[in-house]
């Protein structure tokens, strides 16, 4: 797993969570409920999605499902997506993620980069289309006076970014933007749009968020305890010896590796580790998997943090203590040796300690569901061309950084 970095793609979601306090001064009149958009940035973070099947279904229109499910190779590319007459170009999507994609293209094996790149761009295309719709609706609702106040909060948010992320120096902020091919004006427009969308969502769905009952919060607490157990995480180093015709990322092995030979190789590696050799050195020497060049260091890995091929290794990881090394593990097409290099365990808090946080988190989840329903309804009524955005997605994918390219 590559260490997390600040990206424009993640900023789009983060901004909508962090900027609520600023925007509330705009929308407080006529807004009976003041809940935050997005998850609360506290210790109750979870990867478990809401279990409301209707909300999940409504969150994706049929057109977006087309873009997600069709084989892009079967589609003819188009370089512009129109949403109610507003044009979204290839660069409108790529400019926020190009810098990070270029880094991934240099560091990941080509097949793995291709898979991750396409998934990132799927989300980015969908985000641009949905944000365009919400921005259009927001402009129809916000008055001139509100727009003037909004500019003040945009100024405040930019100052906050400069002070918090760039040591209070605007020149560093400008340099950071230049490295990513983004101007200050473009970033200001992005921040303005995010804040405008928050204000619109608060007016449109914020008042529909109800106070939870005692029973609902107690059930939410039980869910929190279950999620906390899943939230334990470990750092993994891995020695990966494939056998058969394909390696870890689907590249053909020439010649094919006999299972017997792979077994002998992994057992020899385990003897070296048990004999006191540094795990990372052995991994660099013999491993053929992802991150072999960095000693098999996968960094932090969650229980559901890898594809099926590596699941036996993940299962073994979560049976180890920090510093522990597994025996030889057999998977479909590979042998593994796993080392747990570090671990974090979350300790549960009592219901009384986190009751207020649970109530806010419950409201945030309601707000998310209502927001997705609103977006789905607006998308279904929108004029989107081409009708299958997968064609636009293909054009974006074709223009994305290629393996080995340098960041511009």
Query: Residue 251 has what pLDDT?
Result: 66
Q: Say how many residues make up the chain.
A: 408
Query: Residue 115 has what pLDDT?
Result: 84
Query: Residue 163 has what pLDDT?
Result: 92
pLDDT band at 404 (very low <50, low <70, confident <90, very high): low
| Sheet order of strands, 384-385 included | 86-89, 80-83, 384-385
The pTM (predicted TM-score) of the whole model is 0.58
Query: Residue 337 has what pLDDT?
Result: 96
pLDDT band at 25 (very low <50, low <70, confident <90, very high): very low
Question: How is the chain split into domains, by residue range?
Answer: 9-211+359-399, 233-344
Structure tokens that stand for 359 in this block: 């109530």
Is 184:177 a contact under the CB 8 Å cutoff?
yes
Closest CA to 367 of 245, 250, 197, 232: 197
Residues 356 and 363: their CA atoms lie apart, in Å, by: 11
pLDDT tens digits, residue range 330-386? 988 899 999 999 987 767 778 888 888 889 888 888 888 888 888 888 888 899 999
Where is mean pLDDT largest: 150-154, 253-257, 265-269? 265-269
Is 353:37 a contact under the CB 8 Å cutoff?
no
Residues 310 and 307: their CA atoms lie apart, in Å, by: 6
Query: Residue 230 has what pLDDT?
Result: 56
Q: Is the pLDDT of residue 8 over 90?
A: no
Q: What is the mean pLDDT of residues 179-196?
A: 91
Q: 380 or 28, which is more confident?
A: 380
pLDDT band at 32 (very low <50, low <70, confident <90, very high): very low
Q: 376 or 266, which is more confident?
A: 266
Query: Residue 305 has what pLDDT?
Result: 60
3-class SS of residue 80 = strand
pLDDT tens digits, residue range 162-178? 998 888 999 999 999 99
Query: Residue 306 has what pLDDT?
Result: 66
Distances (CA, A) of 301 to 232, 235, 283, 327: 10, 6, 18, 19
Query: Residue 227 has what pLDDT?
Result: 66
Beta-sheet strands, E only, within 279-333: 297-301, 329-331
Q: 124 or 50, which is more confident?
A: 124
Q: 14 or 292, which is more confident?
A: 292
Q: Is the pLDDT of residue 254 over 90?
A: no
Average pLDDT, the chain: 78
State the CATH class of domain 233-344: alpha beta
Is 292:108 a contact under the CB 8 Å cutoff?
no
Q: What is the mean pLDDT of residues 7-18?
A: 45
Whose tokens are 């960041």? That residue is 407
Query: Residue 2 has what pLDDT?
Result: 40
Q: Which helix (H) or strand (E) is 340 found in, with range? A: strand 334-344
Q: What is the mean pLDDT of residues 269-288?
A: 91
pLDDT tens digits, residue range 77-118? 999 999 999 999 999 999 999 998 998 888 777 888 888 899
Query: Residue 369 has what pLDDT?
Result: 84
Is 246:252 a contact under the CB 8 Å cutoff?
yes
Q: Which distant-in-sequence residues (6+ apart) come within 8 Å of 232 by Cβ?
A: 303, 318, 343, 344, 345, 346
3-class SS of residue 385 = strand
Q: Is the pLDDT of residue 40 over 50?
A: no
Structure tokens that stand for 63 in this block: 């057109």
Whose tokens are 């230049």? That residue is 178
Where is mean pLDDT largest: 78-87, 279-288, 302-311, 375-384? 78-87
Query: Residue 156 has what pLDDT?
Result: 92
Is 341:324 a contact under the CB 8 Å cutoff?
no
Closest CA to 403 of 121, 8, 112: 112
Structure tokens that stand for 248 in this block: 């870890």
Residues 365 and 10: their CA atoms lie apart, in Å, by: 19
Query: Residue 22 has what pLDDT?
Result: 39
3-class SS of residue 285 = helix
Q: Is the pLDDT of residue 45 over 70?
A: no
């Amino acid at each position: 797993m590559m260490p997390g970095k600040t990206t424009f793609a993640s900023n789009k979601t983060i901004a909508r969570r962090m900027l609520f306090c600023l925007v509330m001064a705009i929308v407080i009149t006529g807004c009976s409920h003041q809940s935050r958009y997005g998850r609360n940035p506290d210790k109750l973070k979870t990867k478990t999605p809401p279990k409301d099947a209707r909300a999940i279904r409504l969150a994706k229109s049929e057109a977006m499902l087309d873009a997600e499910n069709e084989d892009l190779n079967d589609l003819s590319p188009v370089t512009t997506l129109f949403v109610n007459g507003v044009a979204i170009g290839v660069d409108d999507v790529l400019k926020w993620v190009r810098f990070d994609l270029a880094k991934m293209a240099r560091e990941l094996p080509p097949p793995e980069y291709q898979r991750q790149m396409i998934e990132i761009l799927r989300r980015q295309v969908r985000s641009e289309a949905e944000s365009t719709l919400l921005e259009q609706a927001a402009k129809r609702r916000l008055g001139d006076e509100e727009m003037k106040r909004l500019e003040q909060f945009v100024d405040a948010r930019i100052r906050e970014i400069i002070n918090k992320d760039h040591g209070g120096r605007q020149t560093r902020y400008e340099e950071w933007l230049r490295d990513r091919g983004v101007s200050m004006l473009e970033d200001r427009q992005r921040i303005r749009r995010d804040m405008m969308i928050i204000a619109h969502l608060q007016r449109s769905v914020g008042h529909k968020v109800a106070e939870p009952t005692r029973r609902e919060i107690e059930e939410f607490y039980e869910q929190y305890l279950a999620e906390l157990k899943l939230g334990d995480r470990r750092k993994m180093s891995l020695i990966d010896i494939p056998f058969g015709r394909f390696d870890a990322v689907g590249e053909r092995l020439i010649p094919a590796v006999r299972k017997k030979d792979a077994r002998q190789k992994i057992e020899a590696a385990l003897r070296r580790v048990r004999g006191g050799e540094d795990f990372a050195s052995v991994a660099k020497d013999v491993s053929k998997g992802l991150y072999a060049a960095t000693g098999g260091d996968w960094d932090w890995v969650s229980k559901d943090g890898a594809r099926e091929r590596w699941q036996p290794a993940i299962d073994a990881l979560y049976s180890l203590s920090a510093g522990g090394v597994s025996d030889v593990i057999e998977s479909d097409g590979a042998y593994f040796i796993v080392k747990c290099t570090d671990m974090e365990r979350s300790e549960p808090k009592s219901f009384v300690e986190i009751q207020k946080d649970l109530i806010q988190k419950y409201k945030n989840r309601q707000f998310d569901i209502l927001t997705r329903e609103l977006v789905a309804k607006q998308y279904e009524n929108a004029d989107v061309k081409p009708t299958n955005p997968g064609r636009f997605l293909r054009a974006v994918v074709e223009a994305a950084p290629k393996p080995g390219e340098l960041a511009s």
